[in-house]
Structure 1
Amino acid sequence: MARATLTISSKNYSSWSLRGWLLCRMAGLDFDVAPIDLDAPDARQELLLLSPSVLVPRLTHNSVTVWDTWAIAEYLAEIAPKSGLLPKDRAARAHCRAICGEIHAGFANLRSALPMNLKARHKAFKIFSGARPDVERVKAIWRECLATYGGPYLFGELSMADAMYAPVCTRFRTYAVDLDPELAAYCERIFAWPLMEEWTEGALAEPDEIVELEVEF
C-alpha cells in the first residue's frame, strides 16, 4: 500500500482530525501526518469551520484526495477490506454505517456545548438543556450496540464506529457526564486503546498558546 499523507489540525481540539487519524491507523495505512500551520491566516477559519470548504482532515493517497471524515472512512474500508473497519455481517455493517452517519451528520448541540478539549477536566459541568437529548441519544446507541454485539466494543471487535465515537468519550470525560457502569467501562476501554493513548500524548504536548475554541468540534 503506497505511502499517504493525512492533513490534520489541532490534536487537542479537533475531533474530526482524531477520527481521520484513528481510521487511517486502523486501516494499516502507511502515512505521514501533515499538521496545518496554526499561525497561518486561514488556520483559524479551518479550526472554526468557517472556510468555504473545510478540507481538514484530508487524506492524499496515490492519485486520490479525499476529505470529510466519513468519506475517508468509506475510502479506507474499500482499500483495506480486511482491516475490520466494518463488521463482517451484512446487517451489522448496515447498523455500523447508520450510527456512524448519525454522529457524522448530527449532534450539533452536543458538539457546541461540549467542545473537545483533551487538556481540560471539569469536576462538574452543567449541560444546557438543548444538548441533553444528544447526550442521551449517544448513551442509547452505545447501550444498544453493546447489548446486541456483546462488547467489548460497539460491534464486538474494534470498528470504524469506535473511531467515530471516540471523541465523544473524551467529551464525556472532560465535562464529567454521568455514565452508568457499562458505558463508563466502554469509555475506559477507548481511553486505554493504544492509538488513543498515542493521540492523547500528542494533544497534551500541543502548545498551550492555542486559544481554546468554543466551536462545533
Structure 2
Amino acid sequence: MNNLSLVIGNKNYSSWSLRAWLLLREFHVHFQEIRIPLDMPETHALMERHSPSRKVPVLNIGDLHVWDSLAIAETVNERFLEGAGWPRKPDLRALGRSACAEMHSGFPALRASMPMNCRRRVHGFRPDAATVADINRINQLLGECLERSGGPFLLGRFSIADAFFAPVASRFTTYGTEVPAPVGAWMDKIAGLESMQDWQREAEAETEVIEREEVPDQ
C-alpha cells in the first residue's frame, strides 16, 4: 500500500506516535514511515511540510491527511481492518472506546511528570499525589478491561485499546511503577510483541535528546 504513510516523532519520546504506529504494525498494514525529530532546528520546516496540525502523528492516505491518534485509529479500523481493531462484543467495544477516550484526554499529571522515555530507567522515582491518583485510576481501568475480557490483551485480542495504552506500559517500566499482577502480565504481553520490540530497539538507537523530557534519578 505505497500511498499510505505515517508521520511520527522520535520513537524515544513520542507516545502519541507509538499508538498509531503500533496499531498499523500489529495488524500488518504496510505503510511508509516519515520520522520528524522533535525540538530540533529542522522540526518546524518538516512539520510545515508533512503535518497540517503541526503535530504528530499524521496518517496520509494519498492526498488525504488524518491527524490525531484517535482519529487515525478509527480511520485505520474502518479502511484497513474491516472493524477488527475493536472486539465484536458491543459491551467490550464500548468499554474499549471509553478507556481510549479517557486516555486521550486525561491523566495530565502522569503526562507531565512521567514523560515517555524508552531509553531510560529512572531510579527512585517518587510521584506526587496527582500522579499517584492518575496511576491508580489507570490500574483500575486496565484491571476492569482485563477482568471483563479475560485477557490476555485489554479486550481479549490485541486491539486499539492496547495500542492506546502501550505508552503507559512503557512509562510504567521506565519509572518502576508498581502495578497489580494482571496489569503486569498485560505489560509483559505488550513488551513481548515483535513490533513493540522493534520500536524499543529503534528508540534506543536514536541520538536526539530533549532535555525537558529527561526526568533525573531521584
Q: Is TM (by shorter chain) over 0.5?
A: yes
Corresponding residue of 1:188:
188
Query: More deviation in 21-30 or 33-42?
Result: 33-42
Q: What is the letter of the counterpart of residue 112 of structure 2?
A: S
Corresponding residue of 2:76:
76
Q: What is the letter of the counterpart of residue 164 of structure 2?
A: M
Q: Is 2:181 aligned against 1:151?
A: no
Describe the shift of the 1:37–1:175 C-alpha distance in structure 2 as closer, same or farther (beyond 3 A).
Answer: closer
Corresponding residue of 1:212:
211
TM-score w.r.t. length of structure 2: 0.88
Q: Percent identity?
A: 38
3-state SS in 1 of match to 2:131 = helix
Separation in structure 1 between the aligned mates of residue 55 and residue 123 of structure 2, nearest angstrom:
35
* Structure 1 runs not aligned, ≥5 long: none
Deviations 1:52-72 (CA, angstroms, capped at 9, x unpaired): 944311110123210100000
Distance apart, 1:24 and its partner CA: 1.9
Q: What is the letter of the counterpart of residue 181 of structure 1?
A: A
Separation in structure 2 between the aligned mates of residue 214 and residue 79 of structure 1, nearest angstrom:
35
Is residue 6–residue 60 contact of structure 2 (8 Å, CA) maintained in 1? yes
Number of aligned residue pairs: give it: 210
Is residue 5–residue 59 contact of structure 2 (8 Å, CA) maintained in 1? yes
Show the 5 A alignment for 1:1-217: 1=1, 3-38=3-38, 39-43=40-44, 53-82=53-82, 84-207=84-207, 209-214=208-213
Query: More deviation in 121-130 or 64-73?
Result: 121-130
Separation in structure 2 between the aligned mates of residue 55 and residue 5 of structure 1, nearest angstrom:
15
Is residue 96–residue 145 contact of structure 2 (8 Å, CA) maintained in 1? no
Is residue 122–residue 174 contact of structure 1 (8 Å, CA) maintained in 2? yes
Separation in structure 2 between the aligned mates of residue 211 and residue 37 of structure 1, nearest angstrom:
10
Is residue 20–residue 57 contact of structure 2 (8 Å, CA) maintained in 1? yes
TM-score w.r.t. length of structure 1: 0.89
3-state SS in 2 of match to 1:60 = strand
3-state SS in 2 of match to 1:91 = helix
Q: What is the letter of the counterpart of residue 163 of structure 1?
A: A
Is residue 36–residue 43 contact of structure 2 (8 Å, CA) maintained in 1? no
* Structure 2 runs not aligned, ≥5 long: none
3-state SS in 2 of match to 1:122 = coil
Q: What is the letter of the counterpart of residue 149 of structure 2?
A: Y
3-state SS in 2 of match to 1:213 = helix
